[in-house]
Amino acid sequence: MSASEIRTEYTGGKWNLFRLALKTSLLTLLTLGFYRFWMKTRLRRWFWSAIRPGGMPLEYTGDAIEKLLGFLMAVVVLAFYIGVVNLILVFLSFTFLHDNLAAYAASFIGVIPLLFFARYRARRYILARTRWRGIRFGLEPAAWAYSLYAMGQWLLTFLTLGYLYPRQVFNLEKFRTDRTFYGSARLHQGGSWRMLRGAGFWHMYAAAWSVAVLVALVHLEYLPERGLLWLFPAGMWFLFGFLWFRVHALRSMANHKSAGEVALIAAPRMPRVLGIYLLGYTLAYLLLFLFALAVVLAGLFGAVWLFEVNPHDLVTWQQRVPTWVQMSAYIFLYFSIFILWSVLHQVFVVLPLHRHYAQTLTIRNPLALSSIRQRARDHAEEAGGFAEALDLGAAI
Amino acid sequence: MSDARQPLQDLFADLLDGESPRVRRVHVVLSEKAPRRGALLITDAEGRQWCWPVDTLRALADQAGKEGLILHQAGASPERLVISNPDMAGRLRALFPHLGKRQPVRHMWRLLGWGIGAVGAVFLIIMVLIPLLANQLAALLPPDAEKALGDATLEQITIGLDRSGVNPIRSCTQEKGLAALARMQARLVEGMDLPYPVQVHVLDHSMVNAFALPGGHVVFFRGLINEAETPEEVAAVFAHELGHVAHRDPARIALRTAGSVGVLGLLFGDFAGGTVVLFLTERLVQASYTREAEALADAFAHDILIRSRVSPAALATMFERLRARYGDAEGIVAHFANHPALVERIWAARSAARNAGVETEPILDAAAWADLKGICAPLAGLSNILERFKPGAEDGG
């Protein structure tokens, strides 16, 4: 490490995160989802503080109450939209088309501009509540412009059958980055979209086309139905290509980000990321399976020991258990698996990914940071409420 | 006492001033002199000083690195004191137990205002706006659209009941039972003017219930057929549901649900995707109509029962049976049972029977009634086949 570069450390233990995630998830469950604003805030605080460029942790200063407020604001708007507009759409769709598919489609299309809007606003909120070395990040307000721009970019991707997808990814990232600030310094996204067309993209693209061709061939009966079995390897291939593309895009775009003289060097490696996903999901599923098995076994042994049921009569005994008891047991199992899954996912997938991305990130020419000054606090009142209500903010 | 202050003698830390990204190495002491007694005195290499009163000190919560400590002052000041030495951090925690104290809630009134406003608005939308709109639109819905709506809803219900995870729900299709039900239906709908054919289904579930869906679907649960002692009681419930069909009550409920389910999904967030489906099912199966709608459906039932030469008193008998079983109580019971005006409705059915003085004629004969009772018989197909091999059952050839 030379004086002209600072590296990023990562200090976050799995066990530590596991306890925090489990505790906050249980509280969320007990409060019928109300605590989720606190859960999200606390987890973000934790994840942010684990990332330490130059040894100094990021700080997340978001507030659960402002999130709740933003959510309430969003709910009022969306309740009207989703309630009344959907009702009218369902009516029209049944009246004229005798089907509700059109209503679903129309309702979804109607929500699309709002999705991009919400995503930009959520990013603005998160950046406004992120500090490093005591200095705030920020994003200029441009959510509707972004929404229009994003729809235009998606349309182009759609019209070119996916060929311009890298261009869309790059342009949207540039739109956001060029409006991002670190204190008084504006960030700049350099480079061109062509650098995103690496091998990952071509794998993804070829896989997507194979899926399309395969489905078309089976549909037109050139191939027997069992030809659809090839969808599985093709899908895997697509996921592989997509992941590679994502890692490559992230790296090449990060390497062309700068704030004045300060620049980033990112070096995440695809094999490592792939390994994290494979290992992480395997572990998470394995533990989830063991948990479910343990619950079922506990239920069976409980029946045998506590109620002295003859093991041979378990099936008939189970039928005599009142419906509400069975229902409660199922609901308990459903939610505990749901919670455990999200906790394990964070511990075994999100954390190692963050760690890898952090540890491969270097800041070049940090001395130039000294000219940067603090920026005013952005109230960002809606606090990601739309994203929360539209279920876009599920990721940390 | 001097022991407790000892650790602060040579405490070095990093200070972030909240003005520039500079990291200042600072020396921290706990001041004891009069004007600044009980405050942290923070001095950097250039001699600049900060003074943080001890009672305003707070530590950042939920930090990933357990060994360090980041101090700040209560309030919105962006200054931070970063202590990386684990020993020092531990001693400071012991010295100042109030570090974890929470910030007071800001904007309390605005929060309360928005909270009440949001709940009120959502309440208005679900309880007033959507039902109002649904009632208006249901009246405008053309018959074939209503039928399509009913078909889609029936599919959702079967999927929904399936998803509840208890037992997948089977539709009962024992042939003879269906034939008996069809005979009952023919008697009841004779002369009725519906824009679509009535379709009746029996689901294999022990709930004592029946409900109607848009577009002429009437659904019985096995529990209701089991509970009934005469075919007339089933016919009476059937007639009541036909009343709802004729008055388009289910279409209103279905449209209302289409509107309110999305809103509820929104409120419960990503947390419980499955609950929405369950709720939808619950709502449609346990559809609670208004008192007026129930009374109108009852009156409709009395009329067509009388016309079909069945005494409306059968409806009263069925209600009484339900009341004896579930009481007037609320709860997860059939919507007949939890209706508060059950006594009133029993009385209305009896007086309708008295006034009409119906000349009754059994709606099903004993054999057909037995068939209907067995409509959900397990392995119905198999027993049909076995019956053919019974001695004396081969006359048909």
Q: What is the CA radius of gyration of chain B?
A: 36
- Specify if A6 maps to a domain: no
Whole-number Å distance between alpha carbons of A89 and A85: 6
What's the burial of A297, exposed, middle or buried (CB within 10 Å: 0-12/13-18/19+)?
Answer: exposed
Higher-confidence position of B105 and A43 = A43
Same domain, A70 and A132: yes
Tokens read off for A43:
């987890």
Whole-number Å distance between alpha carbons of B208 and B318: 11
Q: What is the CA radius of gyration of chain A?
A: 25
| Contact: A135, B20; criterion CB under 8 Å | yes
**Distance (Å) from the alpha carbon of A90 to chain B's nearest alpha carbon:** 7
Decide if pLDDT at B272 tops 70. Answer: no
Pick the closest to residue A321 from A338, A294, A300 (CA basis). Answer: A300
Residues of B with Cβ-Cβ distance to A373 under 8 angstroms: 19-20
Q: How far apart are the first and last CA of chain A?
A: 30
| Contact: A36, B269; criterion CB under 8 Å | yes
- The secondary structure element, H or E, covering residue A115 is helix A101-128
- CA angle (A199 as vertex; A198, A205 as ends), nearest 5: 100
Residues of A with Cβ-Cβ distance to B255 under 8 angstroms: 87, 90-91
Give the C-alpha distances (Å, rounded to integers) separating B271 from A31, A282, A329, A350, B281: 11, 24, 18, 19, 19
Decide if pLDDT at B282 tops 70. Answer: no
- Structural domains of chain B in order of their starting residue, each with its CATH number: 2-100 (2.30.29.30), 115-376 (no CATH)
pLDDT tens, position by position, B37-88: 788 889 999 989 999 998 889 999 899 977 889 999 988 789 999 998 888 8
Same domain, A352 and A384: no
CB pairs under 8 A between A and B: 188
Same domain, A273 and A395: no
Q: Which of B14, B60, B63 to mutate to test the interface with A (most CBs of A within 10 A)?
A: B63
- Specify if A206 maps to a domain: no
pLDDT tens, position by position, A71-128: 888 888 887 877 787 788 878 877 787 776 776 677 777 778 888 999 999 999 999 9
- Specify if A343 maps to a domain: yes
The answer for B 127-186 residues in CB contact with A (under 8 A) is 129-130, 133-134, 137, 140-142, 144-149, 152, 164-166
Same domain, A389 and A292: no
Cβ atoms of B283 and B253 closer than 8 Å: yes
Residues of B with Cβ-Cβ distance to A87 under 8 angstroms: 130, 133-134, 137, 255-256, 258-259
Q: How many domains does chain A have?
A: 2
Higher-confidence position of A132 and B363 = A132
| Contact: B65, A76; criterion CB under 8 Å | no
- Specify if A241 maps to a domain: no
Res A347: pLDDT? 96
pLDDT tens, position by position, A298-333: 888 887 777 777 777 777 776 777 777 777 777 778
Res B83: pLDDT? 92
Whole-number Å distance between alpha carbons of B252 and B231: 30
Residues of A with Cβ-Cβ distance to B256 under 8 angstroms: 87
Same domain, A91 and A122: yes
| Contact: B166, A369; criterion CB under 8 Å | no
Whole-number Å distance between alpha carbons of B243 and B295: 10
- Specify if A81 maps to a domain: yes
| Contact: A59, B80; criterion CB under 8 Å | yes
Same domain, A111 and A26: yes
ipTM value: 0.83
Of A32, A83, A334, the CB nearest to B262: A83
Cβ atoms of A153 and A171 closer than 8 Å: yes
Whole-number Å distance between alpha carbons of B72 and B57: 6
Count helices and strands in chain B by DSSP H and E runs:
15, 10
- The secondary structure element, H or E, covering residue A181 is strand A180-182
Q: Does B77 touch chain A (CB under 8 A)?
A: no
Q: In this structure, are strands B57-59 and A130-132 parallel, antiparallel, or unpaired?
A: unpaired
Same domain, A348 and A302: yes
- Specify if A283 maps to a domain: yes
Pick the closest to residue B225 from B295, B178, B188, B160 (CA basis). Answer: B178
Same domain, A57 and A129: yes
Same domain, A386 and A351: no
Same domain, A308 and A385: no
Lowest mean pLDDT segment, chosen from A242-251, B2-11, B51-60? B2-11
Res B176: pLDDT? 85
Whole-number Å distance between alpha carbons of B196 and B22: 78
**Distance (Å) from the alpha carbon of A161 to chain B's nearest alpha carbon:** 31
Same domain, A274 and A395: no
CA nearest to B112 within chain A: A69
**Distance (Å) from the alpha carbon of B48 to chain A's nearest alpha carbon:** 18
Q: Does B97 touch chain A (CB under 8 A)?
A: no
Buried b or exposed e, range B356-365, using 16+ CB within 10 angstroms: bebeeeebbe
Strand order in the sheet with B23-31: B49-53, B39-44, B23-31, B11-16, B80-83, B69-73, B57-59
Q: What is the extent of the structural domain holding A86?
A: 11-142+179-183+376-396
**Distance (Å) from the alpha carbon of A122 to chain B's nearest alpha carbon:** 16
CA nearest to A103 within chain B: B258
Lowest mean pLDDT segment, chosen from A353-362, B18-27, B372-381? B372-381
pLDDT tens, position by position, B222-269: 888 888 888 888 888 899 888 888 888 888 887 877 777 667 666 655
Residues of B with Cβ-Cβ distance to A183 under 8 angstroms: 20-21
| Contact: B122, A99; criterion CB under 8 Å | no
Same domain, A113 and A55: yes
Res B386: pLDDT? 53
- The secondary structure element, H or E, covering residue B240 is helix B231-247
